[in-house]
């Protein structure tokens, strides 16, 4: 099975956002050595829990620190940006690291309504105005020269003009995104770790309604889910306390850094249940346990959904424990280590 990583650049309590960004660079180097296929960096705004509002900046650094692993955005929240600017930015990355760049684009705001307003391209529009479909088609046209000859933008020569282009993935966690990816004929990454309620419906709809093209003859699906592994189930459950408290704080408007497991246990008290399990879903948003236990659940889920690749997000307080979690999974899935 193809295994990859999506990194939210979590900020551990007691550390700085700079520490979190350096952890991202370190983890990317480690993931490449372990044999992971891709390393994507998420976009989050105005939160002290996650340190990367600009994945394209981090990709420039991570690309220079690695040489073989594919790197990409997971993703760029397109409603905030000009499609031409996004195309230019990722063409720069493609020129620097040809054949390695993924451009994952999403529709979600990546922050609160106030953050979204502050990031808006046009504040005179209604907050409910949604031109994402038009933005997506414009982005594709800029990257692949798809404007009609009579379109004004057809005269724009995008810079840097290099052969090829970044690989575009549509990201989402809803039936809308799966329908859009199928209709346009794009590869699709489903964020199960964000919203697990529509996973089967979205993935099956995408595969059943995919519109093939010469460039993209077959549907391709990445399933992004959470996982926390340790040498024992007990240790993994202990590490998971941090993200359980973080999730509970998010649901009540809190936006602090990732707490320690000890702090989480003290604050959670007797109620240490996962705050997200109340959602109707066949699978939890994150699997927690020993590597053999977690890997068997990932294999079962991915085989039921017939996905091409699984992308893992791991959020714990201790960076070494996060590295260890990915290392255990790499061994369990028999990833081929790279000699760098």
Over residues 209-242, the pLDDT tens digits come to 999 998 899 999 999 999 999 999 999 999 999 9
Q: How far apart are CA 101 and CA 93, in angstroms?
A: 7
Residue with tokens 């007990």: 234
How much is the pLDDT for 129?
Answer: 62
Give 172's DSSP letter.
Answer: E
* 224 located within any domain: yes
- Non-local (6+) Cβ contacts of 320 within 8 A are none
* 50 located within any domain: yes
What pTM was estimated for this model as a whole? 0.94
Q: What residue numbers bound the domain in which 283 lies?
A: 2-332
* 210 located within any domain: yes
* 81 located within any domain: yes
Query: Residue 30: enclosing H or E segment and its boundaries?
Result: helix 17-34
Q: How far apart are CA 91 and CA 93, in angstroms?
A: 5
Cα separation of the two ends of the chain: 22
How much is the pLDDT for 340?
Answer: 81
CA 57, 195, 242: angle at the middle one, nearest 5? 70
- The pLDDT tens digits of the residues spanning 156-209 come to 988 898 899 999 999 999 999 999 999 999 999 999 999 999 999 999 999 999
**Strand pairing of 70-77 and 188-191?**
unpaired
pLDDT band at 128; cut points 50, 70, 90: low
How much is the pLDDT for 273?
Answer: 65
Query: Residue 296: enclosing H or E segment and its boundaries?
Result: helix 291-305
Number of independent structural domains in the chain: 1
* 200 located within any domain: yes
For the chain, give the mean pLDDT.
93
* 288 located within any domain: yes
Coil, strand, or helix at residue 159?
Answer: coil
- The pLDDT tens digits of the residues spanning 141-152 come to 999 988 999 999
CATH number at residue 60: 3.20.20.30
Residue 188, strand partner residues:
170, 221
* 338 located within any domain: no
Q: Which two tokens stand for residue 283?
A: 């699978």
pLDDT band at 127; cut points 50, 70, 90: low
Q: Which two tokens stand for residue 205?
A: 């709809």
* 28 located within any domain: yes
Q: How far apart are CA 248 and CA 268, in angstroms?
A: 9
- The pLDDT tens digits of the residues spanning 261-308 come to 999 999 998 776 665 554 578 999 999 999 999 999 999 999 999 999
- The pLDDT tens digits of the residues spanning 38-78 come to 999 999 998 999 999 999 999 999 999 999 999 999 989 99
- The pLDDT tens digits of the residues spanning 309-322 come to 999 999 999 999 99
pLDDT band at 140; cut points 50, 70, 90: very high
Q: How far apart are CA 217 and CA 121, in angstroms?
A: 35
- Non-local (6+) Cβ contacts of 219 within 8 A are 182, 187, 188, 206, 207, 210
């Amino acid at each position: 099975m193809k295994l990859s990583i999506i990194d939210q650049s979590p900020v551990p309590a007691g550390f700085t956002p700079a520490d979190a960004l350096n952890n991202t660079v370190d983890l990317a180097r480690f993931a490449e050595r372990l044999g992971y296929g891709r390393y994507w960096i998420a976009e989050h705004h105005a939160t002290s829990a996650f340190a990367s509002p600009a994945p394209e900046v981090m990709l420039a650094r991570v690309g220079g620190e690695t040489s073989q692993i594919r790197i990409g955005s997971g993703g760029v929240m397109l409603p905030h940006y000009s499609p031409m600017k996004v195309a230019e930015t990722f063409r720069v990355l493609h020129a620097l690291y040809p054949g390695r760049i993924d451009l994952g684009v999403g529709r979600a705001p990546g922050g609160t309504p106030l953050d979204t307003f502050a990031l808006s391209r046009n504040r005179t529009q209604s907050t409910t105005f949604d031109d994402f479909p038009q933005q997506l088609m414009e982005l594709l046209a800029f990257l692949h020269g798809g404007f009609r000859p009579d379109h004004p933008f057809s005269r724009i020569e995008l810079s840097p003009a290099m052969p090829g282009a970044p690989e575009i993935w549509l990201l989402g966690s809803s039936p809308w995104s799966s329908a859009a990816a199928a209709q346009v004929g794009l590869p699709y990454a489903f964020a199960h770790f964000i919203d697990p309620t529509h996973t089967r419906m979205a993935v099956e709809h995408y595969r059943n309604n995919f519109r093939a093209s010469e460039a993209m003859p077959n549907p391709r699906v990445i399933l992004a889910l959470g996982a926390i592994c340790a040498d024992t189930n007990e240790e993994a459950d202990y590490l998971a306390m941090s993200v359980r408290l973080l999730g509970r704080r998010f649901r009540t408007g809190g936006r602090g850094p990732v707490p320690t497991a000890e702090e989480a246990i003290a604050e959670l008290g007797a109620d240490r249940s996962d705050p997200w399990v109340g959602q109707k879903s066949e699978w939890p948003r994150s699997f927690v346990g020993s590597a053999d236990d977690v890997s068997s659940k990932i294999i079962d889920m991915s085989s039921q959904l017939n996905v091409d690749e699984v992308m893992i997000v791991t959020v714990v307080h201790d960076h070494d424990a996060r590295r260890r979690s990915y290392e255990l999974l790499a061994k369990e899935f028999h990833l081929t280590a790279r000699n760098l």
